[in-house]
Amino acid sequence: MDRKVVTLFSDSPFVTEGLAPLSHIDVAYETWGVLNQAKDNAVLVLHALTGDSHAASHYPGDLSGWWEDLIGPGKAIDTNKFFVVAPNVLGSCYGTTGPTSKRSDGTIYGIDFPEITIGDQVTVEKALIDHLGVGHLAMVIGGSMGGMRALEWGYRYGAIIDELAVVAASARATAFQIGLSSLQIRSIELDPNFYGGRYHEYGVAPEEGLSIARGMAHISYRNSSELDDRFANTAKGGDRSHGTFEVDSYLRYHGEKLTQRFDANTYIKLVKAMSAFDLGRGRGGVVAALSTISPKTIVVGVDSDELFHPHLQYEIAIGVGENATMDLITSTVGHDGFLVDAASIGEVLLRRSEVLSQESHLDRIVASCAN
């Protein structure tokens, strides 16, 4: 792993959209490939909710990244051609300033870390790109929460982006997504070890609450048919009388796994940022905002996604208009298909030049939406 950290906003404090100042921001990031002399071959890769900067391996034997099938020499995002940058998002706990970071007085922010937005995260990512000397972006690509940020990039900075790739995302949070997220937050806050978000002061963590939150999220990341095919109503050990089912064990496993690597306050802040996302807020609505996105836009959905249903990606493609293409990848797993079946996303990107050279895509998008 080749993670770097840079400190930004040292000269002038960063101010969130909620008007909270941060004296400086550390940003963890990783890069692959080489920036060319024209400084226009960069690809910005944006991770999802609990992801990090390690999108792909750097050398043989390195830990595989979360988009390993997509990024690397000869792959769809070819590191022999592109300078790939994957930053860890503002508010995270993997090296970029967030709730687990220390303030100037040496104390941990914890729950006092300010509320942040997708827009705040993009502002920090743009500062990193400027710091790296990138003048133009060949592509901005992200999935899920990363796809939300990609849309914000397209709206704000479309003039410096050749292609935008939005994967398994939406232009605004839906009531279903917000409701599910609110239940996750409540499960963390009700954990007796939460202590109003000040659990660091007590040397504990709300692990059970975070584990339950992750279980709720994870079941929405998968497809209901896939879960039934895998687990049905099978009881653990074959005994239903105790009410312990295989699917419950599966969700507990994923919940407990997250508690070993992620912070509860961080989870809350990032989930709230996703829930608050609305590309059209203050911009005349989602349709108006999407219509101003100028880069060629590749929209990719997962056909079995029940959390970010494909109709949400169709809305993006239709809103952007003739400059957009829409593809659905086939996956049995649901929303997590954007990670599990990343090779299929690569196939979409590899044929993008042929598709984007077509004169008009709107009729095809509308026809696909009707099917």
Q: Single out the catalytic residue among 69, 191, 263, 305.
A: 305
Determine whether 57 is an active site residue.
no
Determine whether 69 is an active site residue.
no
Q: Is the pLDDT of residue 56 over 70?
A: yes
* pLDDT tens, residue by residue, 37-46: 999 999 999 9
8 Å CB contact between 71 and 64: no
| CA–CA dist 186, 82 (Å, integer) | 42
Work out the percent of the chain whose per-residue pLDDT is above 90: 87
177-275: in CATH 1.10.1740.110: yes
Kindly list the domain boundaries of the chain, sorted by start residue. Answer: 4-173+278-370, 177-275
Question: What average pLDDT does the chain have?
Answer: 93
The b-or-e profile of 12-50 (16+ CB within 10 A means b, else e) is eebebeeeeebeebbbbbbbbbebeeeeebbbbbbbbbb
Q: Is the pLDDT of residue 166 over 90?
A: yes
Task: Specify the pLDDT at position 16.
Answer: 96
Higher pLDDT, 214 or 354: 214
Q: Is the pLDDT of residue 357 over 50?
A: no
Q: Single out the catalytic residue among 53, 144, 170, 304.
A: 144
DSSP one-letter code for 225: H
| CA–CA dist 157, 292 (Å, integer) | 11
Determine whether 239 is an active site residue.
no
* pLDDT tens, residue by residue, 100-152: 999 988 999 999 999 999 999 999 999 999 999 999 999 999 999 999 999 99
8 Å CB contact between 155 and 292: yes
Q: Which of 135, 125, 133, 132 is nearest to 40 (CA)?
A: 135
| CA–CA dist 151, 164 (Å, integer) | 8
Average pLDDT over residues 57-72: 96
Q: Single out the catalytic residue among 54, 200, 335, 361.
A: 335
* pLDDT tens, residue by residue, 200-255: 999 999 999 999 999 999 999 999 999 999 999 888 766 665 668 999 999 999 99
* pLDDT tens, residue by residue, 5-34: 999 999 888 999 999 999 899 999 999 999
Which CATH number applies to 4-173+278-370: 3.90.1640.10, 3.90.1640.20, 3.30.70.20, 3.40.50.1820? 3.40.50.1820
The b-or-e profile of 304-319 (16+ CB within 10 A means b, else e) is bbbbbbbebbbbbbbb
Residues whose CB falls within 8 Å of the CB of residue 343, separated by 6 or more in sequence, listed in order: 69, 70
